[in-house]
Amino acid sequence: MDRIEVAKIGDGENSLNKNERFVKQITPKSEDFSRWYVEIIRKTEMADYAPMKGMMVIRPYGYAIWENIQQLMDMRIKDAGHENAYFPLFIPESFLRKEMEHLEGFAPEVAWVTHGGQEELEERLAVRPTSEAIIGSMYAKWIQSWRDLPVLINQWANIVRWEKVTRPFLRTTEFLWQEGHTAHETAEQAQEETIRILYLYKDFVEKELAIPVIEGKKSVREKFAGAEETYAIEALMSDGKALQMGTSHNLGQHFSKVFNIRFEDREQNLQYVWQTSWGVSTRLIGALVMSHGDDSGLRLPPQVAPFQVVVVPIALGDWKKDVLPWAEKINLDLRQKGIRVRLDSREEYTPGWKFSEWEMRGVPLRLEIGPRDVKENRCVAVRRDVQKKEILNLDSLVQLVPDLLRDIQTSLFHQALDFQRRNTHWAEDYEEFKETIESKKGFIKAWWCGDTGCEDKIKEETMATVRVIPIRQEEEEKAGRCVYCRKEGRELVYFARAY
């Protein structure tokens, strides 16, 4: 027998400790969601507040998650044909001014550099709130011919936006992200790229972060300043609010016209390039917390967890001789298999303490090994996603663990998907809409005439906004009437209150 399920922790007949919460230092989610969120971030040592308003320090445990996200995302971006580069942090004010909608969109949140040393600058420099302008100015130099296209460049960088209200990872004054900037020969190619990246993001977030998303177009109100069209992926957090997880913009020729990015096409006509830009940020880490976390803390998807497995030797009797070597062997064997594993043989903490600590930190799988296990050539495995204990045979451990990790990854996704489905509601009319947003929260699918006036009214009265207009409209549903004004509904959209 390779695997035997022995008990589910926390409830049921076989429960080791009925109804007991092992991690007791976190405010329950149901009691105060914001507090729960911040406590998890601080107590797991993902991040800490810096002494300046709205800024945080990403600590090693949080940064390790970001590095995993980066690595997996970078691979996908490169596989899709892009290259990495790096552009300056400072952008001359005149560059931002070239695209007025862009400037106006970002003006309230730009940090300005006015002095170099003691001297006042001739022209203020913006600390990049995004890099379309500086990159556009360079593309103008680099692109002359259709043979230079497409240009497919990505940059990993920090961004500064002087936000008024901040929250760790979700919205901080400075944050880390990836921004892709591409230039194409035709409008069609730019649109294709926009959509390709949208689905790249969707696939990444669903497969690696185990968070289901709805993909679609943004309304005019929610569109990126300076874009022709903005597309986004939106996920539902476990408090019923939506979070934008990534955006992909079709910039059309807005920036190429102001930065004069021209090329001679195949018919020898001088043309402006068609551009896109797209990004995901450290906000994804906040989404991990809010999607998967529970009252015991984090539950990290194995794909991005700093440690996928933690091995806890049980120190009984002459454990350094009888137990530790086995724990070390498990550690090594798993490591050789490419699994991120942490052996916790610290003597100053009891096993119970370690169990709680690693649960709070969201390690997907814990392996416990004590003298009794060694005698029977086995260990105890505890899954973080379902809090179930199983007994695993040591000989087959190295084969079993990757399977277990895969199970945990998909189980987290399905739990989140199930939550999303249970919290997506239809609203036929505005009364139902208001009732649902108050009592049930979550996504509300409803018909919308496409008019910004209706969108504004709904937002004003319910705090809900158009999150996305799904790309694939559900054909079987023939057009209904706008949930607000009752005019012919053009589009079926997802509304929600959002972060």
Partner RNA sequence: CGGGGAGUGGCGCAGCCUGGUUAGCGCGCCUGCCUUGGGAGCAGGAGGUCGUCGGUUCAAAUCCGAUCUCCCCGACCA
Q: CA-based Rg of the chain, rounded to a whole angstrom?
A: 26
Residues numbered 439 to 468 that lie near RNA (CB under 7 A) are: 459-460, 463
If one asks whether residue 347 binds RNA (CB under 7 A), the answer comes out as yes
What is the smallest separation between the CB atom of 463 and RNA, expressed in angstroms?
5
State the minimum distance, in angstroms, from the CB of residue 281 to RNA.
4
Q: Which stretch binds RNA (CB under 7 A): 70-78, 144-152, 356-364, 475-483?
A: 356-364
Q: Under rule CB under 7 A, which residues in 119-178 are in contact with RNA? A: 159, 161, 163-168, 170-173, 175
Q: Counting contacts by CB under 7 A, is residue 53 touching RNA?
A: yes
Nearest distance in Å: CB 3, RNA: 15
Q: How far is the CB of 398 from RNA (least distance, A)?
A: 19
Residues 190 to 249: which contact RNA by CB under 7 A? 222, 224-225, 244, 247
**Binder of RNA out of 179, 215, 368, 491 (CB under 7 A):** 368
Q: Measured between alpha carbons, how far is 32 from 20 in angstroms, rounded to an integer?
A: 20
Q: What is the x/- site pattern for RNA, positions 293-322, by CB under 7 A?
A: ---------------------xxx--x---
**Identified binder of RNA from the candidate list 3, 8, 29, 55, rule CB under 7 A:** 55
Report, in Å, the least distance between residue 417 CB and RNA.
21
Given 113, 156, 265, 351, the residue binding RNA (CB under 7 A): 351
In terms of CB distance, is 128 or 340 closer to RNA?
Answer: 128
Instruction: Considering only residues 374 through 403, tell me which ones interact with RNA, judged by CB under 7 A.
Output: 374, 379-380, 382, 387, 389
Among 128, 181, 283, 467, binds RNA (CB under 7 A): 283
Q: Give the residue, chosen from 370, 442, 450, 489, that forms a contact with RNA under the rule CB under 7 A.
A: 370
